[in-house]
Amino acid sequence: MREPHNVSLLSRILGATDLSPRAVKAVARAVQLADEHRATLTILHVLPDALGDEASKRQIVLQVEQYLHRKVIKLSPDREKTVSIEVTTGTAFVEIIRRAREKAVDIILVGAHGEQFINKLLFGTTVERIVRRGDRPVLVVKRRVRGPYRTVLMATDFSDQSGEALALAMRVAPSAKYVLLHAYQGIEQQLWRSDFRKSDILRYRRELANQSQEKLKHFIRKRGLDNTSFVRLVRYGRAPQVISSAARRLRPDLVAVGSAGRTGLPHVLLGSVAEHVLREVSCDVLVARPAR
């Protein structure tokens, strides 16, 4: 285990579950993080409104609460008196976002939609709507929990938003090894079309790479961090493809990205790097939200 980074830990965690097998992974990760960070933990399930009469509704709510309580205690017996199990009715993504705001949680955990979610992000799913429309960081859990996160791949474009995403990732996984990745592109294609010599084009690419390396070092120093604490990768190409390729090669436990949020737009991830990463990588994905 690496020496933990000097960051503030998570204090309030919300794990949302629809009781499906994939959601069990999210509950397990929520419990693991809560134990690691000594954070308060809320597990939330949202039932549909149409549940019959009040007596039937109360019975179903009680059964779900008991089931979730048993599940959490099996994962962590010490959580007997420190977990809050909440079962409500309504539209799932609306209630999850609302509860997250009310409780001022640091992060929402949700389960991915299996292989279908990995290969094709389905517009309209609960997970997709939470990520797009909420205002809290979202950790989309795809893999079984095998302990704390050990390796985190952090994609950065040197923006303040990337800095916020890095700070969040370091809170979530303070003891992990961090690989900072930057994808760069220039006017190389135009140079090829203009009949520049191959040696000149390759020299131009090397210069871009060197500049990106210096910017990456500055990005780290600007946040009061030590360059030697990070593995720094600079790769040529479009960011979505570079990140996916690096994730396949490095096999991190977690990929962290910032979302391209714009105030007033409901579909804030449409066409963004974050959406591509959610769709393509097979490990857990942490999506940081823009500051509001």
pLDDT in tens, 69-120: 999 999 998 887 789 999 999 999 999 999 999 999 999 999 976 444 444 4
Return the pLDDT at 292. 54
Which parts of the chain sit beneath pLDDT 50? 114-124, 261-271
- In this prediction, residue 192 carries a pLDDT of 54
What are 259-276's pLDDT values in tens digits? 764 443 444 443 478 888
Angle, CA of 22, 70 and 96, to the nearest 5°? 50
Which amino acid belongs to residue 2? R
User: pTM for the full model?
Assistant: 0.86
Give kind and range of the element (H or E) at residue 62.
Answer: helix 54-75
Using CA atoms, how far apart are residues 54 and 153, in angstroms rounded to an integer? 48
Written as six digits, the tokens of 208 are 């871009």
The hierarchical CATH code for the domain 12-184+208-288 is: 3.40.50.12370
pLDDT at 55: 82
pLDDT for residue 197: 66
Dump the DSSP string for 237-251.
S-HHHHHHHHHHHH-
Q: Cα separations (Å) of 8 from 5, 11, 35, 171, 286?
A: 9, 9, 15, 6, 17
- Pick from 210, 216, 283: nearest CA to 244: 283
Characterize the bridge pairing of strands 138-141 and 107-111: parallel
DSSP string, 148-179: S--EEEEE--SSHHHHHHHHHHHHH-TTSEEE
Check residue 73 and give its pLDDT: 92
Task: Return d(Cα 61, Cα 87) in angstroms, integer.
Answer: 6
> What pLDDT score was predicted for residue 160?
87
